[in-house]
Structure 1
Amino acid sequence: MAYRYWCGECGFRTGWLTESQVERQQTEHYAARHPEIFPGGQVETDRRNPNRAVGCAQLVGLLVMVLILAASCRR
């Protein structure tokens, strides 16, 4: 599932990420930009393409495997 976080205090938003990545970026953003305020805002779920983050990770993994295979076949 892909998620995007919107800050409750300013216009900051993350890209489409996994839930744990969004939580980490929210915490880091509030610590840097709004240190006196408890983290808030809202988290949006990508309903059009709920597997977006997983699909991207699979694509990157596939590309890495192809590069390893190509490097091992080269003489």
Structure 2
Amino acid sequence: MAYRYWCGECGFKTPWLGESQGEQRQMDHYAKRHPGIPPGGLVETGRKGMNGGCGCVQAVGVLILLLLIAAACRR
């Protein structure tokens, strides 16, 4: 799995990294840019070797295929 950490205080985000590496970069960012504030924000998860996120396109394709099958069965 790959993880990307987003800062809860500004627009900073880490690159896609392993969990411990991403967490460390987020803590380093907070220590440098937001001292005294505990690290927060969002954590995005994804697959290693992500290719830009085709998952939504695949899901829509499967949905269309299922609708076509359902329509063919009604006849």
Q: TM-score, normalised by structure 1?
A: 0.62
Which aligned pairs between 1:1-75 and structure 2 lie closer than 5 A? 1-46=1-46, 50-52=47-49
Partner of 1:60: none
Q: How many residues align?
A: 50
What fraction of aligned residue pairs are identical, expressed as a percent?
66
- Could you say which structure has the greater relative contact order, defined with CA pairs below 8 angstroms and 6 or more residues apart? 1
Q: Distance in 2 between matches of 1:13 and 1:51?
A: 17
Which of 1 and 2 has greater Rg?
Answer: 2
Judging by fraction of residues, say which structure has more strand: 2
Cα offset for 1:52? Answer: 2.7
Cα offset for 1:2? Answer: 0.5
